[in-house]
Amino acid sequence: MEVKQVKLISFSPTGTTQKILESIAEGIAVDDVAPINLTLPEGAQQSIPSLSDELVIIGAPVYGGRLPVDAVKRFKRLQASNTLAILVVVYGNREFEDALLELKNLAIALGFNPVAGGAFIGEHSFATADVPIANGRPDSRDVQKARDFGAKIKEKVAVLPSPEAPIDLKIPGGFPYEAEGARTMTVSPVTTEDTCTVCGTCASVCPTAAISINGSVATDIALCIRCCACVKNCPTGARVWEDGMMKKIASWLNENCRTRKEPQIFGIAL
């Protein structure tokens, strides 16, 4: 089968997953690449045409060894019919545990036919310049690996007789899932009034509409999923974590996840 169109379906609050999906698409090298980014609150409502006759790359970050609950909610709106799918998770150099297996099981339940999977590394959402955790990733080596993966995907799809060809894709992880997902913590970043220019960027990137701007920045803590999109996108550095537990978690990750992990690919030999 020839790949004529690629759809990139993502949930990616801080953009690392999106970057990996785009790099894989570069490796597949087709002109018709259509992004369906489901990160923002509109993504929860957006009507998505039924997917058929194309190759779909679905990507999400790892939260607590699982998929983010909001990614699952949005992906459940997809309808496929033996649509070939590449599954991608991006994690912050700790572990991806059951997340890729969860994405495979979800994809099959939605009607996709998973061809291959990849677990890539991205700068940890909780990382800062002072407390780095995989800062700057995906870097040029990760991007090259993603492009190589894309080129091999094209070769694998080329020899498939039809989209419904049986593919036995083995993905690590256990079912029932052992990883519990993101911990429930009713906390959110706070705004430093002195440096906040009330530009509204934080509200515009928040996936759960937890932030509202009305002369100043207000956050509905109950809606915050700790994705850190507001922190990483604030142009003045006014959006920060003050919560002691979040600072402890970031320090633990900084100390214990220093050894560089490399992307892992399943269903294709690179």
Ligand X SMILES: Cc1cc2nc3c(=O)[nH]c(=O)nc-3n(C[C@H](O)[C@H](O)[C@H](O)COP(=O)(O)O)c2cc1C
Binding interface with ligand SF4 (CB under 6 A): 13, 188-189, 191, 196-202, 206-208, 210-211, 217, 219, 224-230, 234, 236, 238-239
Q: Figure out which of the listed residues 15, 27, 43, 173 binds ligand X, where binding follows CB under 6 A.
A: 15
**60 or 78: CB nearest ligand X:** 60
Q: Which of 6, 7, 8, 14 binds ligand X (CB under 6 A)?
A: 14
Beta carbon nearer to ligand X, 59 or 163: 59
Give the contacts of 13 (CB within 8 A, at least 6 positions apart): 39, 61, 125, 205, 207, 225, 227, 228, 229
230 makes contact, choosing from ligand X, ligand SF4, none, with CB < 5 to 8 Å by partner type, with ligand SF4
The nearer residue to ligand X, 228 or 265, going by C-beta atoms, is 228
Look at residues 2, 27, 1, 22 and name the one whose alpha carbon lies nearest to residue 10: 22
DSSP 3-state assignment of 194? coil
Neighbours of 104 (CB within 10 A): 22
Residue closer to ligand X, measured from CB, 134 or 157? 134
67 binds, among ligand X, ligand SF4, none (CB under 5 to 8 A by kind): none
125 binds, among ligand X, ligand SF4, none (CB under 5 to 8 A by kind): ligand X
Place of tokens 């091999």: 152
Nearest to 36 by CA among 24, 49, 26: 49
Q: Is 182 in the site for ligand X (CB under 6 A)?
A: yes
Is 90 a binding residue for ligand X by CB under 6 A? The answer is yes
What minimum distance in Å lies between the beta carbon of 181 and ligand X? 8
Please count the other Cβ atoms lying within 10 Å of the Cβ belonging to residue 61.
Answer: 27
Site string for ligand X, 183-222 (x = CB under 6 A): ----------------------------------------
Cβ atoms of residues 160 and 116 within 8 Å = no
CB-count exposure of residue 259 (10 Å: 0-12, 13-18, 19+): exposed
Using rule CB under 6 A, residue 112 touches ligand X: no
Q: Which is nearer to ligand SF4, 163 or 207 (CB)?
A: 207
CB contact at 8 A, 122 and 263:
no
Nearest alpha-carbon partner for 101 in 162, 200, 175? 175
Q: Which residue is nearest to ligand X (CB)?
A: 122
State whether the Cα torsion 208-213-219-220 is positive or negative: negative
Residues binding ligand X (CB under 6 A): 12-17, 61-65, 90-95, 122-125, 182, 226-228
